[in-house]
Amino acid sequence: MKTSSYTAIAYLFLAPALILMGVFTFWPVGYNAYLAFNDYSIADATATWNNFAHFKYLYGEELFHDALKNSLLFLLVVPVIQVAALLVAKLVNNKLPGMTFFRAAFYIPVITAISIAGIVWLNVYKYDGILTWFLQSLGLIEEQINWLGEPEIAIYMVMVFTFWKGIGYYMVLYLAGLQSIPTEVEEAAVLDGANAWQRFWKITVPMVKPTILLCTLLSTIAALKAFQEVVVLTRGQADTYTALYYVYAQAFTNFNFGRAAAAGLVVTFFCVLLAIVQFRFFGEKK
Amino acid sequence: MSKSFTRALELTGQYAGLIAFTIFTTFPFIWATSVAISADPGNIWLFPGAFLPTDPSLVWFKRVITDIPFKDYLLNSTIISFWTIFFTVVISVMAGYPLARLRFPGRGLIFIGIIATMMLPSEVAIIPNFVTLKHIGDFFEATIGYKLIGLNTFPGVFLPGVAGAFGIFLMKQAFEQIPQDLIDAARVDGAKELQILWRVMVPVSAPSIAALAIFTLVNAWNEFIWSGIVLTSRDKYPLAVGMFNDLTGPFAVSTSMVMAGIVLSVLPVLIFFALTQRYFISGLDGAVK
């Protein structure tokens, strides 16, 4: 009797969460898969089976291939942001004055809305923007460069923005990892005459290895899913389509929900694959 | 080379690195501020000159407030964020309690189901949720003659996100740490489950609830893509959408105004961050979810 009364209460408490997740999280998985195999008409909300037409189209379309390529290229951010975040975390992880200020300064881009931060960077990257002026005054370039308009460099400029926006987030994760290293270990190494470089590679890196793995996987998934920075900075111009930007643009500029869903399914497949790897590594530890 | 000399060298290097990196992360905002408070826009594209305000004044801020419905956007952001926090906390607390403290059939399965949603890229739900909201809106229109939930409504913006694995997981963990004696004592006193949750669990878990509320606020306040898709009328836009559309659209020609708009948009977040920063950057909190 006791258990059954708990069962009713438990499901009553869980009901709001389960209903909302059912409608807005689980249903979309199935519905997205369904849309991917249909032509969807927004006007009269009807879907018609189209015999894999979307997938055939995606298989042959250059824009989608370029988008996938750019998403893979975006993985370049991962090692750079991880090494930099670990170094920065190491620098702010001590009892010297001013560390709270520096941590806060590095975290500000993380808590700024991507759209608002993006507007400033649009002005930094303009052909007569502050980046051009900065490099000109150093004598490194002569021409004015439209940083987000040149297909060869635009995607890398978007990556720099991603790096700027995200480094504080990973810094905090590394900080948590660093704080679990007992100070005695480092002190002993100092006594043994190890220099900062040796201490970093021989002590810090091995001891935060679990955090490094976690952050690498998180940022790998984030890099494959990158698209908000493209929405804000380039709207896909100058060869900057990423996989999810393709989904977004197909859905809300082209209004082809079916094709967007099919492309989304391809992205989901890769993300779930990576997430499974992540859970294999960290499942027990959570 | 003496030991103290090496130490001084190390310290100098460390601070030099920190300052260089601070310049990298903050220069866009410093530049924006400097341009925004310069009445004269003549210097804003010159390299070192742009970082020092010329002829300081608040004239561009006044222009932003009179020409752009900044206050409406601010109010919309506040309303959306408030309801997002309210529902996220209530739903996560209610769902976290039975998962942490009650034995019932299906518990394991439900928990795995909730955790599994963390693997899915939430972006892929955008299209189905758009379609679902359109239907829900049509349904309300047909039955009660008023679009309570649907496209271009505030609930349409916040409802899809309020039941999430992160919040439920956070509250479950918080409730698991409460001693069983406390609950047993309340049961002996004849408390119902809802009373136990409200009178015992919630007060004791206040720090976790505060953390959840703060993270939810920042996410809701900064959310940009989904709000931009669901909301179609300008008077409903939150800051992140409204300011972006205005400052990259009709007002993009005046860089001074753009920068003043940015400073005004970032300011509320910065003030909030200054008050709550230990939740974000102490490093020891459950940052690793």
Structural domain contains residue B277:
yes
A157 compared with A53, residue with greater pLDDT: A157
Q: What is the CA radius of gyration of chain A?
A: 24
Greatest mean pLDDT among A93-107, A212-226, B84-98 lies in B84-98
| Helix, strand, coil share of chain B (percent; to 5) | 75, 0, 25
Question: Please, what is the end-to-end C-alpha distance for chain B in angstroms?
Answer: 46
ipTM of the modeled complex:
0.85
DSSP B203-272: HHTHHHHHHHHHHHHHHHHH--HHHHHH--SGGG--HHHHHHHHHHTTTTT-HHHHHHHHHHHHHHHHHH
| Residue range of the domain that includes B10 | 1-57
The minimum CA-CA distance between B76 and chain A, rounded to whole Å, is: 15
B79 and B32 share one domain = no
Query: Could you tell me if residue B288 is inside a domain?
Result: no
Q: Are residues B126 and B211 in the same domain?
A: yes
Question: A191 falls in which pLDDT band (50, 70, 90)?
Answer: confident
Where is pLDDT greater, at B50 or B20?
B20
Final residue belonging to a domain, choices B20, B35, B57: B57
Is A8 within the bounds of a domain? no
Q: Which residue has the higher pLDDT, B174 or B3?
A: B174
Shared domain check, B128 and B52:
no
> Which residues 6+ apart lie within 8 Å of A40 measured at CB?
A46, A47, A256, A257, A258, A261
Q: Residue B63 falls within a domain, yes or no?
A: no
pLDDT of residue A51: 78
Which chain B residues are Cβ-neighbours of A271 within 8 angstroms?
119-121
- Judged by CB atoms closer than 8 Å, whether chains meet at B50 and A92 is answered as no
Q: Give the per-residue pLDDT at A61.
A: 85
Same domain, B196 and B73: yes
How does pLDDT run across B194-240, given as a tens digit for each residue? 888 888 889 988 888 988 998 899 899 999 999 999 998 999 999 99
Whether A25 sits inside 8 A of B117 (CB atoms) is: yes
Residues B180 and B236 both lie in one domain: yes
Confirm if A92 and B18 have CB atoms less than 8 A apart: yes
Instruction: Give A64 or A129, the one with higher predicted confidence.
Output: A64
Across chain A, mean pLDDT equals: 86
Residue A31 lies in a domain: no
pLDDT for the residue A178: 87
pLDDT at A95: 79
Total structural domains in chain B? 2
pLDDT at A1: 37
Residues B81, B37 within the same domain: no
Judge whether B52 lies within some domain: yes
Facing residue for A130 by CB, picked from B50, B123, B243: B50
Pairing type for strands A38-41 and A46-49 reads: antiparallel
DSSP A18-38: HHHHIIIIIHHHHHHHHHHTE
Q: What is the pLDDT of residue A246?
A: 92
Are residues B123 and B35 located together in one domain of the fold? no
Whether residues B49 and B86 share a domain: the answer is no
Cα–Cα separations (whole angstroms), residue A192 to A196, A197, A199, A220, B62: 12, 14, 11, 37, 62
Residues B82, B124 within the same domain:
yes
B127-186 residues touching A, CB cutoff 8 A: 127-132, 134-135, 159-164, 168
The pLDDT of residue A114? 93
Domain identity same for B84 and B37: no
Interchain CB distance below 8 Å, A29 and B125:
yes
The total number of structural domains that make up chain A: 1
Kindly state whether residue A32 falls inside one of the protein's structural domains.
Answer: no
Measured between beta carbons, the chain A residues lying within 8 angstroms of B221 are 113
Domain range for residue A98?
61-282
- Reported as a pLDDT band with limits 50, 70 and 90, residue A283 is low
Confidence bin at B287 (pLDDT 50/70/90): very low
Judge whether A114 lies within some domain. yes
Question: pLDDT band at B284, cuts 50/70/90?
Answer: very low
Q: Is there a single domain that holds both residue B170 and residue B261?
A: yes
Please list every residue in chain A whose beta carbon sits closer than 8 Å to the beta carbon of residue B184: none
Sign for the CA dihedral angle at B52, A130, A170, A26 comes to positive
Predicted pLDDT at B7: 80
Task: For CA atoms A147, A152, A154, A158, give the dihedral sign.
Answer: negative
- Overall average pLDDT of the A15-34 stretch: 92
Chain A residues with CB under 8 Å of B276 CB are none
For residue B87, give the CATH number of its domain.
Answer: 1.10.3720.10
Query: Which stretches does DSSP call E strand in chain A?
Result: 38-41, 46-49
Q: Is the pLDDT of residue B256 over 60?
A: yes
Say which range, A43-47, A139-143, B63-67, B124-128, has the weakest mean pLDDT. Answer: A43-47
- Token couple for B168: 């439920």
User: What percentage of chain A exceeds 70 in pLDDT?
Assistant: 97
Q: Are residues B138 and B163 in the same domain?
A: yes
Give the end of a domain, one of B57, B82, B104. Answer: B57
More confidently predicted of A11 and A5: A11
Query: Who wins on pLDDT, A58 or B94?
Result: B94
Where does a domain end: B36, B57, B78? Answer: B57
Domain CATH number, residue A90: 1.10.3720.10
